[in-house]
Amino acid sequence: MTATSALLLSVATTLASAAPGGDAWARTDIGGVRGITIGPIENAYHPGIGYGSPAFDRALVEAQMAGATWVAITPFGRVANLTSTAIDLTFEVPFERNRIDVLRAIDMAHARGLRVMLVPHLWVESGQWRGDIDPGSTEAWARWADSYSRFLGTWARLAEIARAEMLSVGVELTSWVTSGHAPTFQRVVRDIRSIYHGLLTYSANWDDVEKTTILSDLDVIGINAFYPLADRPGAQLPALAARARAIRDKLHRFAEMWRRPVLFTEMGYTTRHDPALRPWEWPDSMNDVSVDERAQADAYRALLAPMLEELDFAGFFVWRVYADPNDVSQEAPWGFSPRGKEAELVLRDAFAAHWASDVPALGAWGRAAHTPGFLP
């Protein structure tokens, strides 16, 4: 066993033995989460370059060289439409093949000294947003909960076997976790505790996390943080930074209220003019886009700078880079990836900086003066 593997095994053992709760992340004493999401993985049109492949290993090397300490891996399940009550474990390749690839990918990340968050996603075949899923009746919601429990449990067992350090129990399931049906989701999460013994989070959408009713069942409050930092075109860095500081202050109060740290399970901006204006818009739906690397970098800089000064901020995962660093065909030049762009330099600076959450022995909610040195 290498020194790196031994260290990771020690960390994984600590995570597995940590009792769940608001101070679970602090008790692991692993510091700020410097993460990059790597995907997609199950692409039948790009065989041999997904999770577990030599190409994926090159992506891990690049992530590590950039200063990342974590990667997120995102297997998908398939849902027919918003009223479906069934989840197909097979997305684009047979499930068992994908399972083996994901297991190998986690092992490869650990071998490189990187920790892993496993994030099972849902893909809605009708092209609609998963946050609007609504099976309809109480009985249909119960069938949906049973199907989701099987889906999540399958990936939770893999996360346990592979000793992934964190598991996201869902992604942007707004209509479920903010409604009267949320107790059925809580039961799913509580059952997962008997299967998986690492840290649990949930990837809430940025605009509904305050309405999410399952946070007390988590160890870390996860947010897909596609926050708009502007409400009109042409906003400059000082205005973006002011909006970001207001977001930081709001999240600080929220974390203190729930007695849990906040993690950006996804964050990122596209490479275009005004990316901080409606940052959730998907690149593939855009036309006549002017590539603007500086605007993307400024949005990164504005959002991250105040967060790194916040003790209640556990860290972030950049959305995203691709499993084959040499394949640039999977996203338009104005897409989210920061690779080879000005935003990558901002990201490297952020990863290299000293964060408030890196300070040991302050307890979950201690306070001290910190100077991350990320921005002048």
Q: β-strand 115-118 against 199-205: which pairing, if any?
A: unpaired
Torsions phi, psi for 187 (to 5 deg): -65, -35
pTM for this prediction = 0.92
The alpha carbon of residue 138 and the mean position of all alpha carbons in its chain are separated, in whole angstroms, by 30
Kind plus residue range of the DSSP H or E element containing 100: helix 95-111
Residue-level pLDDT at 360: 54
CA dihedral 365, 37, 375, 361 (to 10 degrees): 30
Find the Cα–Cα–Cα–Cα dihedral 345, 330, 159, 227, rounded to 10°.
50
Concatenate the DSSP letters of all residues of 133-178 into one string: ----SHHHHHHHHHHHHHHHHHHHHHHHHHT-SEEEEEES-HHHHT
Task: Locate the domains of the chain by residue range.
Answer: 3-358
pLDDT tens, 133-185? 999 999 999 999 999 999 999 999 999 999 999 999 999 999 999 999 999 99
User: Is the bond into 40 cis (omega within 30 degrees of 0)?
Assistant: yes
**Tokens standing for 315?**
């860290």
Q: Considering the domain 3-358, what is its CATH architecture?
A: Alpha-Beta Barrel (3.20)
* Mean confidence (pLDDT) of the chain: 90
- Contact (CB, 8 A) for 175 and 131: yes
pLDDT digits (tens, 9 = 90+) for 258-288: 999 999 999 999 999 999 999 999 998 888 8
Please state, in angstroms and rounded to a whole number, the distance separating the CA atoms of residues 185 and 102: 25
Which stretches in the chain have pLDDT values below 50?
A: 1, 5-7, 9-10, 13, 16-17, 361-376
Phi and psi dihedrals of 158, rounded to 5?
-65, -40
Give the type of residue at 289. V
Helix (H) or strand (E) holding 200: strand 199-205
Give the integer Cα–Cα distance in Å for 182 and 160: 25
Structure tokens at 126: 């009708």
> Which structure tokens are listed for 270?
């596209």
